[in-house]
Structure 1
Amino acid sequence: MTWPVPGERETVAPVTRRDGDLDAQLLEIFFDRVPMGIAVFDKDLRLQRCNRTWAGFFTHYLGVPAESVTPGKGMFELIPGQEEVTAPLLDAALAGQVVRQAAHRLCTEDIVTYWDVVFAPTFVDGEVTGFVDIVTDATERVRAYEQLEQRISGLTAIADAMTVQHPLEKTLRQVARSVRSATRAAAAAVIVWEDSDLLTLAHYGDDGLPAGYRAAVEATYALGARSLIRDVANDSRINVIRGFRTHALADPDYAPLHPMWDGVDYEDAVVVPLGSRGRCVGCVLLYVKAGREVDQDERTFLQAIADQAAVAVENAHLFQDAESHATLVERQRLSRELHDSVSQALFAMTLHASAVARELSSRGTPPTDPVAAGVAALGELTRGAKAEMRALIFELRPDALAAEGLVVALRRQAAALASREGLPIDVVGPARRLPLEASTEEHLYRLVLEALNNAAKHSGARGVEVLIEVSDTGGTPVLTVVVSDDGRGFDPLAVGPGHLGQATMRDRAAACGAEFEVSSAAGEGCTVTVRLPVGEPVAPPTA
């Protein structure tokens, strides 16, 4: 590295040709041209002379004006505020010792530098007259070592966090913290998207960003702001988006984030994709100052971090799948046991109650007789309990929904509810299975059950209809699910959006990207409507 020479002034005496004094000439050349900084000080710590390298260090790192690096200046005029860390070394040199110090740390205002220094005393007639200061810049070496330690520490911390006991969010926060620390980025975030919905955040962690940043990011996704980050991440390479902040501030889709970018000192964004099984599941996002370059060494580190984060995401998914499988196995076991024990017992009780009722009738016992009435009530109770048990067994077997589809599953549950509540429920829908994602099917199933339960318990209806159909009028097939009853109805504005489970139904509709509407009026029943774009047309509905 070539250091700047302070102005046009040289603090080194010019080399003059003196015949017969070759040693002196060589010494002058050595003093002037070596890459080490050399300076001579007297006992009062005042500079006597220095070479251009020594002066260049001060000008380059500490911002000391060139005219200040001149003979007569005191040591601590040149490096103010360093007495505590430097004076002990100088005292030892002035006591006649040669002092060597590796990576000596100097901190002037916001600048931290490191120096390999030697202070060697000078003598005249056996008396110390001053010292020679020989310095070599160790700043880059120390910073490289610190950066290596930070990277190793970061990778270790991430590895420690990658256990099944730690939530994935905690691991991702550790990833963001490690990346920010090791790269000295202004801020960092890790974003993981849903498998089936690339506009929905599944997991998130950040470091150096204000509270509420995640919510703002999710809000921007809801507005459709995806081109700047996700499209770059899908490129599968580490990319730097120049002027990211300026570009995003001009984009109304990023409006939720605009207030959080006031007064920040970053402009560009570095996007590191998270790859898992051949697909992009998210990215590590670094916010950096304008023009910041990412060298190959840093890219290698970032890729290693991203690989670890991707493994953490994959592990979390596998663990979740394993837990789901274990839950499914346990549900199936309970379902079998309930079917083989309680359900059979209820069936037997129903048969016995029917047999007793027939026997009483054959003997001429009137229905109003207490015994006959009790047997009839027992029969009703056992039939209702059987319906409840069928519904419970179906609920314990979520694979039935996956195996049979939304329409068939709703018909089963509607039949059980109708038997239990004595309320006629018709389910009309396509004979062919609807092309829905499993999560969407689950949300719609639960939403319709909520609407049916509301109608059965609160509406006073004489009948309920569930209509499921797909229309294809605008080029994109739209699934419409309508649950309507002929009950007493209500005023939606008077009772509020949370009435009768509306909030739960609305949340489920939003979770699968559907439109949700409730229409009702006093004495006119209630209609719940859900509309959702689907992948392909299906067959006409059948009862």
Structure 2
Amino acid sequence: MASVLDTAFLTYVESGVTRESPAHGRQVSEAGGVTMSHTAARSETTFDTAVLRELVELSGDGLAVLDDRGHFVTVNPAGVRILGVPEDRLLGTRSPFDVSRRNVTSGSDEMERAEWTAPDGRRRYLEYRVSELANGGVAVWFTDITEILLQQERLTAITRAASSVADSGSLRATLDAMAREVCTTTAISAAQILAVDDPRDELRLLGMAGFGETTDFVERLAECRRRGADIRFLEVLEHGEPVVVLHRKPVIMADPAWEPLHVIMDWPDWDSFVSMPLVVRGRTVGIINAYYAPGEDPGPSSLTFLSAMADHAAVAIETAALLTRTRSRAQLDERRKLARDLHDSVVQHLFSMGMQAKALRAQLERPDADLSQLRGGAQELAELSQNALADLRGLVFELRPMELAERGLVDAVRSHAASLQARTGLTIDVRAPVGDALDLDLEVAEDVYRIVQEALHNVIKHANATKAEVTITTPEHDHRGLLVKISDNGRGKGQKPRDRTAFRRESLGLQSMRERAERWRGRLVAGPRPSGGWTVAVSLPAQGSYAMKEAS
């Protein structure tokens, strides 16, 4: 359609179609000021030119003639609407189009871009093409691409926000990044993401961008609430519906109740305000506030964009809450397991030591005490104390192996394997082809270590195995990820467990391992091997905060 209009417009302006000049009451050529009589103009106006004139007038694209200095000579109605200025005020003023690029000839598909600021302060982004006219002027075809660019920015922001949520390690860091993405759109100067469990409670600031120093924002906001400030986004928390307030900044800055936040709220250049609810399963968990630049109204497409970003923020908040609950449940399970292990090992040893000490005392009180028996009892007491100490050290090590923080995952697994091998006789081979070239966050390393620990515990307790193997490597399809396998040569779980308690504990162990893997977007698979025995395999994708380094 643009090429048809180009041809029509060029024919139209070159033909010298006339209009009556309101200033002079005479006929002036549309092509740039060529004077002719009314009769001559009428005689040169053919039926075809009249049709072309209708095309130009009815076009939805902007069409204009500029003089050799780039000033408007004429503009069609669509161009007037796009530029937002009446035609009589446009004529003679400088256009935003670059007319120095005379290498652009008629019919060329090369497009240029220009920025236009309307009298009301709105910025418009125009795409245009120019063609030279015989009289030295320029014909311009142009269209408004502001909304297209905004949509592209919004889609990019939404995509980046989704990626940020997927790779999130810290909720505050994730939502700060999301607030920054909201501010990448042309219309929005600043953004906040807040959460609250109850509208009557204090708000929690989870993400902010576009403001200055805001370390005490929550405290200042609480003071504004105590002063009775009209905080419109509290309505969003209460009713779960968006709130749009035009020209909000002047009201806030003039209200004494908002005085504690005047410094912060005055920092960005904004005017209108939108608050969008963060909703998860019908429950409002927070809000996202957007502060629009002057002259930028929050239109339907912008509200749709904010709604999409609010959905991502809500998912991030809910995911963090689920991970916290999962982590708490895992910690509770670990405490229960520690209590059982203490009872089954250290407590039993201490009980035996107490009984042996009483027996020794009873023998010492006898006048005919047998020294050889006393020596044997003392030796047994010493052995019990050594076993209790060894078990206690093992339990302390399980709480958080020092090697995880000091020497890394591989050494921690090797140390644990050596301890188990010495205590149980199970041969455990730890294979890590990349050596110690792992760069893991401590929390990731601890969860992987716990998976290995639990898997080996199941081997010892249920597999009747003589050998186990732990392999730490990278998946073939993702060399920045992590793959850990724990295999044994025992009978696996194919046979009936010895009792229901053992089966239940083993199932809980697998569930705990799976939850740890899923916490880092990983996957855990457990089952029998074709050659016999059992394998537990966990694969973790590359995280934002860890990666497998190249082996040296």
1:136 maps to which residue?
141
Equivalent positions of 1:3-402 (< 5 A) are: 9=23, 13=27, 18=39, 21-24=42-45, 27=49, 34=57, 36-39=62-65, 41=67, 45=68, 50-53=73-76, 60=83, 66=89, 69-70=91-92, 78-79=94-95, 86-88=99-101, 90-91=102-103, 93=105, 99-105=108-114, 113-122=125-134, 130-131=136-137, 133-139=138-144, 142-163=145-166, 165-182=168-185, 184-193=187-196, 195=197, 199-202=201-204, 204-211=206-213, 213-221=214-222, 224=225, 227-242=231-246, 244-246=248-250, 248-249=252-253, 254-262=258-266, 264-289=268-293, 293-361=297-365
Is the Cα–Cα contact under 8 Å of residues 201 and 218 in structure 1 kept in the other structure?
no
Deviation at 1:46, TM superposition (A): 5.6
Q: Residues 340 and 236 (structure 1 numbering): CA distance in 2 closer, same or farther, change over 3 Å?
A: same
How many angstroms does 1:187 deviate by?
0.5
Number of residue pairs the alignment of both structures matches: 342
- C-alpha distance in 2, partners of 1:168/1:99? 51
Q: Mean Cα displacement is larger for which, 309-318 or 217-226? A: 217-226
Q: Distance in 2 between matches of 1:353 and 1:251?
A: 79
| 3-state SS of paired residue (1:87) | coil
1:59 and 1:277 map into 2 onto residues whose CA distance is 42
State the distance in 1 between where 2:63 and 2:114 align: 16
Give the secondary structure class of the aligned counterpart of 2:39: coil
The one-letter code matched in structure 1 to 2:63 is G
Partner of 2:17: none
**1:361 shift after superposition:** 5.0
Between the aligned partners of 2:309 and 2:26, the Cα distance in structure 1 is: 50
**Structure 1 residues 352 and 10: alpha-carbon distance in aligned structure 2, compared to 1, 3 A threshold:** farther
Q: Deviations over 1:392-420 (max 9, x none)?
A: 99xx9xxxxxxxxxxxxxxxxxxxxxxxx
Secondary structure of the structure 2 residue equivalent to 1:166: coil
Please, what is the CA RMSD of the aligned residues?
Answer: 4.7
> How far has the Cα of 1:288 moved from its partner?
2.4
String of CA shifts for 1:424-475, please: whole Å, max 9, x gaps: xxxxxxxxxxxxxxxxxxxxxxxxxxxxxxxxxxxxxxxxxxxxxxxxxxxx
Post-superposition Cα deviations, 1:77-115, rounded to whole Å, max 9, x if no partner, equal 9358x7xx5423x2455xxx6545434335789966424
Distance in 2 (CA, whole Å) between partners of 1:330 and 1:159 is 33
Structure 2 Cα separation of the partners of residues 11 and 108 of structure 1:
32
Q: Which moved more, 1:176-185 or 1:56-65?
A: 56-65
Preserved CA contact (<8 Å) 1:180 1:186: yes
Q: Deviations over 1:449-504 (max 9, x none)?
A: xxxxxxxxxxxxxxxxxxxxxxxxxxxxxxxxxxxxxxxxxxxxxxxxxxxxxxxx
Cα 1:344/1:311, change in 2 over 3 Å: same
Equivalence for 2:460: none
User: Does the aligned pair in 2 maintain the 1:118–1:134 contact within 8 Å?
Assistant: yes
Partner of 1:402: none
1:160–1:346 distance in 2 versus 1, CA, 3 Å: same
Q: Tell me the TM-score normalised to structure 1 length.
A: 0.51
5 Å-filtered alignment, 1:474-485, equals: none
Q: Give the direction of change, closer, same or farther, for the CA distance of 1:337–1:196 in structure 2 (3 Å limit).
A: farther
Code of the aligned partner of 1:316 = A
In 1: Cα distance, 2:26 partner to 2:70 partner: 12
What are the equivalent positions in structure 2 for 1:410-449 lying under 5 Å apart? none
How far apart are 1:159 and its partner, in Å? 1.2
User: Against the structure 1 CA distance between its residues 164 and 297, is the aligned structure 2 distance closer, same or farther, given a 3 Å change threshold?
Assistant: closer
- Distance of 2:165 and 2:299 partners within structure 1: 28
Deviation, 1:205, is 1.0
- Once the 2 structures are TM-superposed, how far is the Cα of residue 237 of structure 1 from its aligned partner? 1.3
Aligned 8 A contact 1:117 1:136 in 2: yes
Q: Distance in 1 between matches of 2:288 and 2:322?
A: 21
TM normalised by structure 2 equals 0.51
Q: Which runs of 5+ in 1 are unaligned?
A: 1-6, 71-76, 123-128, 366-370, 397-543
Offset at 1:362? 6.0
2:350 match: secondary structure: helix
| Matching residue's letter, 2:216 | A
**Pair 363,20 (structure 1): closer, same or farther in 2 beyond 3 Å:** closer
Q: SS where residue 282 of structure 1 aligns? A: strand
CA distance in 1, matches of 2:26, 2:215: 59
How much identity, in percent, do the aligned residues show? 24
Please tell me whether the aligned partners of residues 192 and 283 of structure 1 are also in contact (alpha carbons under 8 angstroms). yes
Deviation (angstroms), 1:282:
0.5
Distance 1:164 1:103, change over 3 A: closer
Residue 272 of structure 1 and its aligned partner are, at CA, apart by 0.2
